[in-house]
Amino acid sequence: MIKINNLTYRYRTTEYDALAIQSMNLEIARGEFVAIIGHNGSGKSTLAKLINGILLPTEGKIFVAGHDTGDPETIWEIRKTAGMVFQNPDNQIVATVVEEDVAFGPENLGIPSGEIRKRVDSALEQVHMWEHRLKPPHLLSGGQKQRVAIAGILAMEPECIIFDEPTAMLDPIGRKEVMETVETLNRVKGITVVYITHFMEEAMRADRIVVLEQGRVILDGRPREVFSDVERLQDMGLDVPQVTLMAHGLRKAGYPLSEDILHVEDMVEALWQLL
């Protein structure tokens, strides 16, 4: 779905010059759920904007479903193929009624009105917001607004959705709502998900985790593999799931626990065997 070849991006103005992405190579397969983590300034959001064609590479290439993001002739195909959900849903909601906001994207694609009606209803049902379709967005909770923003992308029928820290401004209930929606889209609908987050509990639900530091890929693997490298992640200023951190502490204290403990159930099983 996404192929990144020797990608470099530099923010350059008259007063500012910074290398955000450095010689990056990365591939994301169709149907994968990939979480991207890293501390502030590691290049996560820049990478999201490059994949969606909002920014263009300084060097290298990005291909989305075979389309080159640097080719202006294919930018609309890329935007239809890879939708993007931002951190603040208020920046993405443009209409005064929920269903009108969800219809905005398909309308701009020139979809016939009858098809738009079907897409809007389907998208709102997928994110469990159909009963709120006639409400003004400002009356919704943060989690509900973010689900409306996701519905607006779904109505365009993308093959891939890029989420740029979509739960950063939400409370725990809102984060749970959004994560359940994201997982359903990936597991049930088969949509490729690129999920940028600084919540490790969200990252551990992905198929694969990519860790960025100073615009480079430092770690890339399954959640159990990545989070087993506790000390390296901590040296990078990143958290690890609490259960994984507990297991690491017990191993340092001399208890023979596995290095790939990720969930509470893993810890219970390990302690049961140990005792």
Domain parsing of the chain, residue ranges:
2-240
What pLDDT was estimated at residue 163?
92
Which pTM does this prediction carry?
0.87
Which tokens is 186 given?
Answer: 């990936």
Q: Is domain 2-240 annotated with CATH 3.40.50.2300?
A: no
Amino acid at site 117: R
Strands of the 2-12 sheet, one edge to the other: 17-28, 2-12, 59-64, 67-68
What pLDDT was estimated at residue 219?
93
CA–CA distance, 140 with 95 (Å, rounded to integer): 13
**Which residues, other chains included, contact 96 with Cβ-Cβ below 8 Å and sequence gap of 6+?**
136, 137
Q: What is the pLDDT along the chain (275 residues), one digit of tens a residue?
A: 999 999 999 998 767 788 899 999 999 999 999 999 998 889 999 999 999 888 999 999 999 999 999 998 998 889 889 988 888 888 888 899 999 999 998 888 888 999 999 999 999 988 888 999 999 999 998 888 988 998 999 898 889 999 998 888 888 888 888 888 889 889 988 999 999 998 888 999 999 999 999 999 999 999 988 988 888 888 888 888 888 888 888 888 888 888 778 888 888 988 888 88
What are the residue ranges of helices labelled H in the chain? 44-51, 75-81, 98-108, 113-126, 142-154, 172-187, 200-203, 223-227, 230-235, 242-252, 264-274
- Do 202 and 35 touch, CB atoms closer than 8 A? yes
End-to-end CA distance of the chain: 46
What pLDDT was estimated at residue 265?
87
- Do 147 and 177 touch, CB atoms closer than 8 A? yes
